[in-house]
Structure formats: structure tokens, C-alpha cells
Amino acid sequence: MCQAVVYLSENEQQNEIMRDVILLEPVKEGVRLQAFFEEPIIMHARIGRIDFLKHTVTLVPLEGGQDGDD
């Protein structure tokens, strides 16, 4: 299977946000992440990089946004 690991890049550090992500969808507030058997979360961020070979997505926070569940 090809699930992804999503990281949030802040202050030149990458923090893991979610594993086994099966859906990443742009929404008005940022991006919505969905993993198997978990409730979706909305991150107030934008896509910074997608590495298809490593199955990783790096998000960058939106200016003035708060991250986390919505």
C-alpha cells in the first residue's frame, strides 16, 4: 500500500503529524488529512513538498494560522 507520512516544517525542523495518510485534500482553512481508522484533521498549512518515492508530504504553516483538529 502507498500511504504517506505527513510532516510539518517549522523553524527548519520537521515534526511528524500523521502516519498512514490515505487522503490529503486542500480546503479553505488549509489541508484536511485522513488516515485509516482516525478522524480527519484540518491543518492550517499549505503543501511545501511531496516526495512520492519516500511517501512523504511536508506541510508549511499558513501565516497566522493555528494547527490541529477542527
Q: Is residue 29 part of a domain?
A: yes
CB count in 10 Å sphere of residue 15: 12
pLDDT tens, residue by residue, 14-30? 999 999 999 999 999 99
Could you tell me the pLDDT band of residue 70, with boundaries at 50, 70 and 90? very low
The verdict on residue 12 lying in a domain is yes
Mean pLDDT of 4-11: 96
Residue 66 covered by a domain: no
pTM above the 0.75 mark? yes
The number of distinct structural domains making up the chain is: 1
Does residue 31 lie in a domain region? yes
- Answer yes or no: is 13 within a domain: yes
**Which residues 6+ apart lie within 8 Å of 46 measured at CB?**
30, 31, 59, 60, 62
Q: In terms of residue numbers, what domain contains 47?
A: 4-61
